[in-house]
Structures are given as structure tokens and as C-alpha cells.
Chain A
Amino acid sequence: MLLFLVASGLTIILSTLRKINFAHGSLFMLASFFAFEFLRLVPPTLRSIWLAIIVATLVVGAVGAFIERSLHFLGEREKVYEILLTYAYALIIYEAVHMLFGSGGKFIKTPSYLAGRVNIFSTTFPVIGFFIIVVGVSAYVGLWFFIYKTRIGLLARGISFDEETARTLGINTNRVFLFVFFLGCAVTAVGGGISGMWIPVTPYMWELALLQAFCIVIIGGIGSLGGAFIGSIGVGQLTSFSIMIEPRISMVMIFIVTAIVLLVRPQGIFGREIL
């Protein structure tokens, strides 16, 4: 479910703006760190996990906006340079975090009302897991609503089809780009902030997050939010499944599936846009 938050942010940006962000995983990691440090450094009165998440989201969203601006500044270059530029950012963010905050490796304390486990179908299940699922699903609903039911969502969709014509209609496409990028990063940041309660916060997270998100987007389909959703569930299940059967190849499975999808149906299971 966490993966969905990352993947959905990515798919929005990728399909709407056609920009590839190799720093997306880094934003996830950054948000996670930020939330952690926020809680650590802030006086007890403000020490609320929710506040931390909100602040982390805003900050990381701003970073994302900065990245978008700089991508724009790049102008009309081949896609390769987008990848390189955002990869450069990923490196910078990674090392910066490493420098400033060390190697992390700790969890964020779960507030008491979310801690503990719950009995369902004769197995115990951590409440926080539930919470993450709830957040993930509501993110999906929220994003879906945004894309299909709001005016900006409509504009974004139109721009993703034909940007030039949109400009001739009087639409400030730059602003829409910025907004969508921010939104995509913000969603991921929320995931990052929450993730600290589920997995340890480390600077190395970014690579895995990025790779898995890309795989999910490819498998689920570029341009499809539902695809990203189902893709994340699928990937999550696949990983846990293969861990049970043969733990050593669990990581490889994702890549193999991705490779197969790329071969058989490059636009993904639900994908509509062909880059």
C-alpha cells in the first residue's frame, strides 16, 4: 500500500507531464527522514505525527516543485537528460541526507491509538497496517476524483494529450505542470512520512522505492491510476508470495514480471498512453 502512494505520484507525473523523475524515490525517503527529524527536534507541544507528516509533505512538495522548475528550464532536450538530471538530484539528496542525518535505521514512534494489533480472521494484524491501507485507498479515491472530476484534472488530462493546443486555448500549461508535479510529489511524501512507522528510515530507501515504483507503473500501465493501484497490490502480493516460496529470488521476480510486461504489452495492463 505504501508503494501505491509512491507509484501513484509517479504515474501522475509520468503520464500527464511526460516527465521522468528519477528522484521520486528520493522524495519518498526525504519525506520519511523529514518526519523523523521533525519529531525529534521539535518541542513536545508540537510533537504530533500528523503535523510532522503535513510539514514533510509540504517541504518535499516544494522540493518537487523546484525539480519541476529546473526540468522546465532544461527546455527541449531528449528524455535522457531528464533521467540524468533527476538522477543527479537523487544522488545529491541521498548524500545530503546521509551527511546531515546519518544512516537512520530507526522507526518513527507510532501514536498509541494506532499501535497494537487487531484480531481478524484468527490472525493478528497490526493496526498501523490497516491505517496505511486506509490512507492508500483514500489517496486513490482522492486522486481519482481530482483527475476526473475537477477542472484542473480535466486540464491536466487534456494537456497530457496535446500540450500545444492547450496553450492556444489560453491555458497556462506551465502552472498546471507545476501543480500536478507538486501533487504527485506530495502524495509520495505522505507515503514517506507515514512509512517511518512501518519500515525503518534509512537513506538507502530511495533506490528500492524508485525501482519498485517504476515497475509498478510499467506493470499497471502508464496513464492509469487504477493500474498503479492494482499494480502495487499485485507487486506487494508477489513479493510476499515469493518470499514464502523461495526468498532468495523474491526481488528478482518483480523485475522478471516487469520485463515480461514490457515485452508483451509495453503500455502495461491498463495503460492507455504510449510514450
Chain B
Amino acid sequence: MVSEEILGLEEVKAFYNHTEILRGITLSVMRRESVGLMGRIGAGKTTTLKSILGLLRTSGSIKFKGKEITRIPTFRIANMGIGYVPEGRKLYGELNVNENLEIAMAGAHSDKEVLSIAYDLFPELKDKKFNKAKLLSGGERQMLSIARALVGKPELLLMDEPYEGLAVPIIRRLNQSFHEIRKGGLTIFVTWASIKGLESIADRIYIIDRGRIIFNGGVQEGRSFASINNLIL
């Protein structure tokens, strides 16, 4: 089976007001791959993801499924099949679990059955259906954030520091879910600040530093590269 490129960035530069954060990012993700993006704080990981979603001013080319998405409004990009699990989860704290999912469903124009799929994947959330999101534990919140992103049945899932602040058992639990989802054909693009977390989930990684990609390869090689170059994480 020939793998097609599902996400392609070429010489992408991104700005916050007038400060250049990304100085020409080129990367590529194939279907069904799980690719990690590693970098220190401030290197440009979140900015890269936000650029893909069209939340920032960018120059360069960003292609999703072969189509140029740089000028397309965010909500349409999402509807094209990109799910986003933002840094810090960004849940609607005042609303309950169900409502958070319903908002996502409204955005994705999906039907009710999606709810049951979500609760099957994360049974822990089922009991807490009507709890306000802000009352959930860290792990549950992450689960909700992921479930929310999956509601639209995306083909590409962007995750920004998904393990932040979570304990190891929960991380393992989440990785299980990721394997489940990947079986269904999902492509994952995830950022993280250290290689350690990405080992179990990524097939290969990019390393980004100060707005530029400095490494592209397997996880183990990435590790050696990082220690050689003193990228302390």
C-alpha cells in the first residue's frame, strides 16, 4: 500500500504580531503514521500546530490531503478532518462533559452515535457525564479533550503536549487508547518537550529548535542526536 502524504508543511513561517516564531518549517506526515514533534519550551511546537489550524498568520505552504489550507478559515480546516487537542486542554470548564462533547458534535455535524463511541473509548467519562468539566481530574480532562477532538471522526489528530501534568499510569492508559484509535486508520501528530514520552507512541520524530527543524528520523536516533547536541529537556 502506497502511503500518501496527509500533512505537508513547506517553508512555513509564522508570526505573533511582528515576531517571527517559525523560521521556515518543512515537514511531512504520511497517512497512518504517528509522528512526534519535540522541542524545548518556546521552540515553536504549539506555534506549528496552531499554524496548521490557521490560527496564526503564516507564510509558506501547508497542505492537508493534498489541498492548500493556508488561507482557509479554521473551522473549515477542522471540518476537513483535523482534530485538535490543545495544550492545556482548553475545555469548557463551566459546561459538563456531555455538553463539551455536544459542542464538538455541533461543530462536526455528527450524529448521536458518536457519543457512545466516545464513552466506549473512555468509560471513565461515562459516569461523570453530567459533571462540570472543571471538576474532573487531570487524566479525565485529557480524556475529554481527546474525545472531543475525535467526535468529528478526523483523519489527522493534532495533540499538543497531551501528557502534561499527568501521572505515568494515566499516560499508559492514554497510550492504550491511542493504539486503539490508530487501528482505525487515524494519523497522529503530537508534540512533546522530551523524547521520553514520545517513545511509546511515535514512529518517528522531528526535533524543532528556535523555529527550525533540526532533526528528522527514528526515535532512538533522535535521542542520541538530542544528547549529542545538549538539548537538555
Known A151-B106, A161-B94; judge A170-B86 contact (CB<8 A).
no
Distance, CA A168 to CA B73, complexed state (A): 10
Q: Who on chain B is nearest to A273 by CB? A: B94
Establish whether residues B107 and A170, one from each chain, have CB atoms under 8 Å apart when the complex forms.
yes
B92 at the interface (CB under 8 A from A): yes
How long is the Cα–Cα vector from A158 to B98 in the complex, in angstroms? 13
Q: Please, how many angstroms separate the alpha-carbon atoms of A167 and B54 in the complex? A: 10
Assess the B107–A165 pair: CB atoms within 8 A.
no
* Contacting pair B94 A170 (CB below 8 A): no
Tell yes or no: B74 within 8 A of A by CB: yes
Instruction: Find B106's partner among A162, A164, A171 (CB 8 Å cutoff).
Output: A171
Complex-state Cα separation, A155 to B102, whole angstroms: 9
Taking a contact as CB atoms closer than 8 A, the residue among B55, B95, B102, B106 that contacts A168 in the complex is B55
**Is the CB–CB distance between B104 and A169 below 8 Å?**
yes
Which residues of chain A are within 8 angstroms of B106 by Cβ–Cβ distance?
A: 151, 154-155, 171
| A162→B92 CA distance, assembly (Å) | 7
Mark B93-114 against chain A: 1 for CB-CB distance below 8 A, else 0: 1110001001110111100000
B103/A162 in contact, CB under 8 A: no
CB of B65, distance to nearest CB on chain A (Å): 16
The smallest C-beta distance from A171 to any residue of chain B, in angstroms, reads 4
A65-113 residues with Cβ-Cβ distance < 8 A to B are none
Chain B 120-161 interface mask (CB, 8 Å, partner A; 1/0): 000000000000000000000000000011011000000000
Which residues on the B side are within 8 Å of A168 (C-beta)? 53, 55, 74-75, 78, 84, 86
- Sort chain A's interface into a size bin: 10 to 19
What is the 8 Å Cβ interface bit string for chain A, positions 143-183, against chain B (1 contact, 0 not)? 00000000100110110011011111111110000000000
Of A151, A158, A170, which one neighbours B75 at CB under 8 angstroms?
A: A170
Are B103 and A169 in touch, CB under 8 angstroms? yes
| Residue of B78, B93, B99, B103 contacting most chain A CB atoms (<10 Å) | B103
Q: In the assembly, what is the distance between CA of A58 and CA of B89, in Å? A: 40
Q: Which of B37-93 contact A (CB under 8 A)?
A: 53, 55, 73-76, 78-79, 84, 86, 90, 92-93
Choose from A155, A161, A164, A170 the contact partner of B79 (Cβ within 8 Å). Answer: A170
Smallest Cβ distance from A16 to chain B, in angstroms?
13
Q: List residues of chain A with CB within 8 A of the CB of B75.
A: 167-173
Quick one: closest B residue to A175, CB to CB? B75
Instruction: Say yes or no: B108 contacts A169, CB within 8 Å.
Output: yes
Whether the Cβ atoms of A169 and B90 lie closer than 8 Å is no
Smallest CB-CB separation from A165: which chain B residue? B90
Question: B115 CB to closest chain A CB, in angstroms?
Answer: 14
Q: Are the C-beta atoms of B93 and A161 separated by less than 8 Å? A: yes
Chain B residues whose C-beta falls within 8 Å of the C-beta of A157 in the assembled complex: 92, 94-95
Chain B's closest residue to A76 (CB) is B17
Q: How distant is the Cα of A168 from the Cα of B94 in the complex, in angstroms? A: 19
The interface residues of chain A lying within 8 Å CB-to-CB of B103 are 154-155, 158, 166, 169, 171
CA distance A155 to B86 in the complex (A): 19
Query: How many angstroms between the C-alpha atoms of A172 and B73 in the bound complex?
Result: 9
Which listed residue (A162, A164, A167, A170) contacts B108, Cβ 8 A? A170
CB neighbours of B94 from chain A (8 A): 157, 161, 272
Contacts of B95 in A (CB 8 A): 154, 157-158, 161
Which residues does chain B contribute within 8 Å of A162, judged by CB atoms?
90, 92
Contacts A151-B102, A164-B55 given; does A171 touch B90 at CB 8 Å: no
Most buried by A among B86, B107, B149: B107
Q: What distance in Å separates the Cβ of B160 from its nearest Cβ neighbour in chain A?
A: 11
Task: Write the nearest CB–CB distance from B163 to chain A, whole angstroms.
Answer: 19
Closest residue of chain B to A151, judged by CB? B106
User: Once the chains are docked, how many angstroms separate the CA of A163 from the CA of B219?
Assistant: 36
- A155 proximity list for chain B (CB < 8 A): 103, 106-107
Would A170 and B78 count as touching, CB distance under 8 A?
A: yes
Q: How far is the CA of A40 from the CA of B198 in the complex (A)?
A: 73
Most interface-central of A166, A169, A170, A272 (chain B CB within 10 A): A170
Interface residues of A (CB under 8 A from B): 151, 154-155, 157-158, 161-162, 164-173, 272
Q: Which residues of B contact A (CB under 8 A)?
A: 53, 55, 73-76, 78-79, 84, 86, 90, 92-95, 99, 102-104, 106-109, 148-149, 151-152
Can you list 22 A-B pairs with a CB-CB distance of less than 8 A?
A: A154-B99, A154-B102, A154-B103, A161-B93, A161-B94, A162-B90, A164-B74, A166-B103, A166-B107, A167-B74, A168-B74, A168-B75, A169-B104, A169-B107, A169-B149, A170-B75, A170-B107, A170-B108, A170-B109, A171-B106, A172-B75, A272-B94
Instruction: Using A169-B78, A169-B103, A171-B75 as known contacts, list a sample of 8 further A-B pairs with CB atoms less than 8 Å apart, ordered by residue number in A.
Output: A151-B102, A151-B106, A154-B99, A161-B92, A167-B55, A168-B55, A168-B86, A171-B106
